[in-house]
Amino acid sequence: MQGHVSTCPIRMVHNMKLPGTNAGLTEVFKKALPPDVSEFNGEYLVDMLTTFPSLKRFSHRKVFYRNNDRVMGNNVLFNGKFGYFLVQEGVCEELGSLEAAVLNYDRRENAFFIRRVRDHVRCLEKDALYVGRFNYLFSGRLYFMGYFSLEKIR
């Protein structure tokens, strides 16, 4: 349509334009590739793309590391660690059982309400940029809460 101006917000992440709506990001997530769990290593800047305010300006990060044969990680905000997780192979059943890396927060180090978080992550650019779905497990069912991006910084 000539002269049409989009009112849909767009976010620039790692030189890539991402839509600012759940519907648009769902399409991006579906087209992204399933990452290999072993490729997660180092620090990634977290940007909440929908639903929740972004804490990117406060340097919200996820740090991934190896522990024996497992990939694990935690969140960092204001130099404080929280939200410890295990990275596992899995599927995003809500979107047709797409393969995804699952960040499973069901660990004893976490407060009970954090233990129910399950993030599904897919790859937009290997070792550089990922898109994730933030989910919350309640009464045996996952509830979608919003999208986020992970941008490798170290």
Which pLDDT tens digit goes with each residue over 44-68?
999 999 988 888 888 899 999 999 9
Partners of 33 in beta bridges: 123
* Residue ranges in the chain modelled with pLDDT below 50: 1-10
Distance CA 107, CA 40 (A): 19
Contact 43, 62 (CB under 8 A): yes
In the chain the domains, ranked by start, together with CATH numbers, are: 10-152 (2.40.128)
For residue 89, the model assigns a pLDDT of 97
Residue entry with tokens 């660990």: 107
DSSP structure class, residue 29: H
